[in-house]
């Protein structure tokens, strides 16, 4: 049951058709595990990267696609449909949490592998 329905008694339908937010916890998980490798690893040490750079746009696109693939595999392994196991459940209990925990083991304060310069409108 989604929070809006649980707390506000508002039923939201079609959530099984949504995809993830391409943010640092999901994207960082794939960089930190080596699933996504930067063509130029020096980007990892350059400080803040503008959110509109090709690197960040590609990283975000890969993140969306990979989280969808992870969700498919998790559902398949547990015999669930998207209606039975929502993407929000997979994100909260899986990719977000794993991304945060892995970041804490790799960098001080658990910061993401790429530091993004943004005005808050994108991530």
Q: How confident is the model at residue 16 (pLDDT cuts 50, 70, 90)?
A: confident
Between 24-32 and 54-78, two packed helices, what is the crossing angle to 10 degrees? 80
Q: Residue 13 has what pLDDT?
A: 80
Q: Is the pLDDT of residue 89 over 70?
A: yes
Measured between alpha carbons, how far is 96 from 14 in angstroms, rounded to an integer? Answer: 22
Q: What percent of the chain has pLDDT over 70?
A: 96
Rounded to two decimals, what is the model's pTM? 0.82
Q: Residue 118 has what pLDDT?
A: 78
Q: Residue 1 has what pLDDT?
A: 54
Measured between alpha carbons, how far is 12 from 22 in angstroms, rounded to an integer? Answer: 22
Measured between alpha carbons, how far is 112 from 101 in angstroms, rounded to an integer? Answer: 11
């Amino acid at each position: 049951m989604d929070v809006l329905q649980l707390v506000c008694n508002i039923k939201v339908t079609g959530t099984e058709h949504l995809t993830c937010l391409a943010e640092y916890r999901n994207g960082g998980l794939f960089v930190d595990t080596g699933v996504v490798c930067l063509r130029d690893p020096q980007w990892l040490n350059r400080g803040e990267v503008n959110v509109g750079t090709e690197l960040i746009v590609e990283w975000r696109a890969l993140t969306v696609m990979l989280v969808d693939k992870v969700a498919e595999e998790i559902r398949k392994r547990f015999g669930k449909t998207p209606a039975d196991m929502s993407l929000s459940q997979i994100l909260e209990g899986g990719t977000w949490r794993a991304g945060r925990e892995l970041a804490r083991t790799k960098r001080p304060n658990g910061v993401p592998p790429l530091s993004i310069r943004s005005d808050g409108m994108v991530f």
